Chains A and B, each alone.
Chain A
Amino acid sequence: MAMRPLSLLPVGLFALLAVVFGVYLWQVGSGGKDISQIPSALIDKPVPAFDLPPIQGRTDGLKTADLQGKVALVNVWASWCPPCRAEHPVLMTLARDGVPIYGINYKDRPQDALRFLNELGNPFARIGADTDGRVSIDWGVYGYPETFVVDAQGRIRYRHVGPINPGQLDSVIRPILRKVGG
């Protein structure tokens, strides 16, 4: 019996699926894309209205108005979060380069947060203490650390879930800062 074009259809479909699955697997394997990461609902929206007190023992605090007028990073961190500790040298590098970084200290004990900064250095221009986690919910935060790029108009332009590693600093964060105008 002669081969009908239709009889090749299952093979074709299989090949197509194999390619699609292969591409996704490769992306996950190479660290290029984490499919468990979800896009932020706040991209291109103004930063949420918030007003956080300082960590007890400091005098700064962080509010919406602090994020107007310049390109800045907002980093949600806690002293009890090991990836935050791992990410910390990257934030110090960025701070040395003159990028303003604002901290939201998530559900931390004041003495632990202060010890973390004393030991490792403080990359933050200002820090607000989010003791009950409500402001982090307003920012759509679900993993720690998370880092947001905010433009000079106070709009959220990018969100990074998890620690920024040194490779991503150069391949992702710096290009976005340049694009947004930092």
Chain B
Amino acid sequence: MIRAALAALMLVAALPASAVQPDEILADGALETRAREISKELRCLVCQNQSIDDSDASLARDLRILVRDRLKAGDSDEEVVSFVVERYGDFVLLRPPFKTSTLLLWIGPALIFIAGIAGVWTWYRRRRTAVISDAAPLSDDERKRIDAILAAQDDS
């Protein structure tokens, strides 16, 4: 029981691992929470598949501090994000915005899924009609043989 509780505690304690250094953390808890949420949405451009919240790169650290400085100066979350996007472009957002240049990115998977469903559906439909039309009706001779076999089974 104690071991299970300890294991659970360790799992929980392991979750909030991030690259934020103690000297970066703001004294104001509410601002720090907002800074963490914003940082998780911003790409580290050095590592490219990590957020600045996760990354140990020095540019990521500078951007984390920048985000906190903007918040301290009274920027809203949106203002902070657009401040960074103005400098680094949409690529800095880990969640790409929905606009014409990213349309294919957003609806592509849905399009491919629909095409797949349509393909499977037509394939099954073809196969069923093919099975029905390909089967020629029984000839009189065949019908007589089946009747004989069935009759023999009934007798036994």
Contact = CB atoms under 8 A, between A and B. Distances in A.
A134 B45 CA distance: 15
Q: Point out which of B46, B62, B85, B90 has the most chain A C-beta atoms below 10 A from its C-beta.
A: B62
B68 to A, nearest CB: 13
A40 B89 CA distance: 7
Contact of B88 (A36, A41, A133): A41
A138 interface: yes
Contacts, number: 41
Dominant secondary structure of chain B at its interface with chain A: helix
Contacts of B58: 107, 133
Nearest to B59: A142
Interface residues of A, number: 19
A156 B148 CA distance: 93
A166 interface: no
B66 A137 contact: yes
B113 interface: no
B86 A137 contact: no
Contact of B45 (A9, A138, A142): A142
Contacts of A48: 87
A148 B58 CA distance: 22
Contacts of A138: 87
B87 A36 contact: no
Given A38-B45, A142-B45, A137 B89 contact: no
Interface of B: 45-46, 48, 58-59, 62-63, 66, 85-91, 119, 122
